[in-house]
């Protein structure tokens, strides 16, 4: 494997892609620590220390995770790629219910390019809304409760400048992600998520070492690596449905007769259901911050903000399972797969083409989605379970969404790098 990395750097095209990706990621990390104008940096540092001790950052944990801690610094890239992720999920869901978007999806590359344009516009709209909400909360003291004033001025012009800078930062992040996809290595947005999540690991591990001592630090490492190995095994697990293509004559030449398979992963939905369910639980809590003294605000703050209440845990568990089934149903259409197989003369051995093929694919997919959804829900709740059992919510970096992202994006990036190498050599990372 190490020799394969050496060959990657000796190959000019792959080396340029790796260096370009690292350069973009360096700029990305720099923008995650540079604060926007009108921010009191000293007050921010003091407040972040207080939040870490009292665990009041649970409401913003998802966005703060995807921004690499930039949100609670009110940095230029405070929103990170969260608006783009939300916009992508919304457009993907709307392709099922909006005929125009469904037609664009079927047009291939041209239609996908138009959907990408819509995603960009929606990202800017969400960035304006999110930045306005966070800047308003920061100015009113609601972003970090009990920390006092964290901005120098609450006048209209400085607040508008903060909103514009955060929105521009999101636009720049979106552009850099597309640059990585086009000229770098891997999917740009996924690689940037991976970078922001991985950036929090050294600080979290060192915090365990300082707060708990050497033995808990080693225990966290061992448990984290074991959980990562289990996640890796499940992420690689798949059910391969064999497909046989009949032979057919086209002119004087014989085509077909080949055998392939349809790979159905155990975790067919990836990390999207966890992100979506977290966002759904985050929205009412964010709205409650604008009126925390009302009956609704007090109930939400009591049951949802800390993230360890039974109501929150059960709701998050059920939503993750429901969104897993929903997302799988819109991303894998058995009817469409069956029609494509029938169009090119393919069939599943022992299963009649047409309606029986659709039933068989739906049956297999539902049986795979059941353990996959439970796996996602349990992994997502891992940090909270660690907090309840071992008082280690802030000290357990190998948990939940971060672990799924690191394993999934790491596998995808290695595969892409290996495919680039195999265009020139037959040996890859796994040989």
DSSP letters for 106-142: HTTHHHHHHHHHHHHHHHHHHHHHHHHHHHHHHHHT-
First-to-last C-alpha distance (Å) of the chain: 7
In terms of Cβ atoms closer than 10 Å to its own Cβ (0-12, 13-18, 19+), residue 310 is exposed
Most confident option among 15-24, 291-300, 403-412:
15-24
Phi, psi of 240 (to 5 degrees): -100, 115
Residue in this structure with the two tokens 């409401």, named with its chain if needed: 59
- Distance from the Cα of residue 87 to its chain's centroid: 13
Q: Is the pLDDT of residue 36 over 80?
A: yes
Residue intervals of the chain classified under CATH 1.10.3370.10 are: 1-199+402-431, 237-396
Q: Among 1.10.3370.10, 1.20.58.1880, 3.40.190.290, 1.25.10.10, what is the CATH number of 1-199+402-431?
A: 1.10.3370.10
Q: Is the pLDDT of residue 78 over 70?
A: yes
User: What is the pLDDT averaged over residues 66-71?
Assistant: 70
What are the CA-CA distances from residue 366 to residues 137, 295, 327, 328, 369 (Å)? 43, 41, 12, 9, 5
In terms of Cβ atoms closer than 10 Å to its own Cβ (0-12, 13-18, 19+), residue 215 is exposed
- For the chain, state the CA radius of gyration: 24
Q: Is the pLDDT of residue 58 over 60?
A: no
Phi, psi of 351 (to 5 degrees): -125, 130
| % pLDDT > 90, the chain | 11
- Average pLDDT of the chain is 79
Closest Cα to residue 55, out of 402, 392, 397, 398? Answer: 392
**More confident site: 157 or 393:** 157
pTM of this prediction exceeds 0.85: no
Q: Which of 60-64, 182-186, 197-201 has the lowest mean pLDDT?
A: 60-64
Q: Is the pLDDT of residue 286 over 90?
A: no
CATH superfamily name and code, 237-396:
SecY subunit domain (1.10.3370.10)
């Amino acid at each position: 494997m190490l020799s394969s990395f050496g060959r990657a750097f000796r190959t000019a095209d792959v080396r340029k892609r790796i260096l370009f990706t690292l350069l973009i990621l360096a700029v990305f990390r720099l923008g995650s620590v540079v604060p926007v104008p009108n921010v009191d940096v000293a007050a921010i540092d003091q407040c972040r220390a207080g939040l870490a001790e009292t665990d009041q950052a649970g409401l913003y944990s998802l966005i703060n995770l995807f921004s690499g801690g930039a949100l609670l610094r009110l940095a230029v890239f405070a929103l990170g790629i969260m608006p783009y992720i939300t916009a992508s999920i919304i457009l993907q869901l709307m392709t099922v219910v909006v005929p125009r978007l469904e037609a664009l999806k079927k047009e291939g590359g041209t239609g996908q390019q138009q959907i990408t344009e819509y995603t960009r516009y929606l990202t800017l709209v969400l960035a304006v809304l999110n930045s306005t909400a966070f800047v308003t909360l920061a100015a009113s003291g609601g972003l970090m409760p009990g920390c006092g004033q964290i901005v120098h001025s609450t006048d209209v012009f400085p607040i508008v400048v903060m909103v514009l800078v955060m929105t521009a930062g999101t636009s720049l992040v979106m552009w850099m992600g597309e640059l990585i996809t086009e000229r770098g290595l891997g999917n740009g947005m996924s690689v940037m998520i991976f970078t922001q999540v991985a950036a929090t690991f050294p600080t979290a591990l060192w915090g365990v070492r300082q707060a708990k001592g050497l033995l808990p630090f080693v225990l966290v490492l061992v448990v984290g690596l074991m959980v990562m190995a289990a996640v890796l095994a499940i992420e690689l697990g798949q059910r391969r449905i064999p497909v046989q293509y009949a032979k057919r004559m086209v002119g004087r030449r014989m085509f077909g007769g080949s055998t392939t398979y349809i790979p159905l992963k155990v975790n067919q939905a990836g990390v999207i259901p966890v992100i979506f369910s977290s966002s759904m639980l985050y929205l009412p809590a964010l709205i409650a911050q604008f009126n925390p003294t009302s009956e609704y605000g007090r109930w939400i703050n009591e049951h949802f903000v800390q993230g360890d209440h039974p109501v929150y845990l059960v709701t998050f568990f059920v939503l993750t399972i429901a969104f897993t089934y929903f997302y799988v149903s819109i991303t894998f259409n058995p009817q469409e797969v069956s029609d494509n197989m029938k169009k090119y003369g393919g069939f599943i051995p022992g299963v009649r083409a047409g309606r029986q093929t659709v039933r068989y694919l739906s049956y297999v997919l539902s049986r795979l989605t059941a353990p996959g959804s439970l796996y996602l829900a349990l992994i997502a709740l891992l940090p909270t379970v660690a907090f309840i059992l071992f008082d280690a919510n802030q000290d357990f970096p190998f948990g939940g969404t971060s672990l799924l992202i690191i394993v999934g994006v790491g596998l995808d990036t290695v595969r892409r790098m290996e495919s680039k190498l195999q265009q020139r050599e037959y040996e890859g990372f796994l040989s």
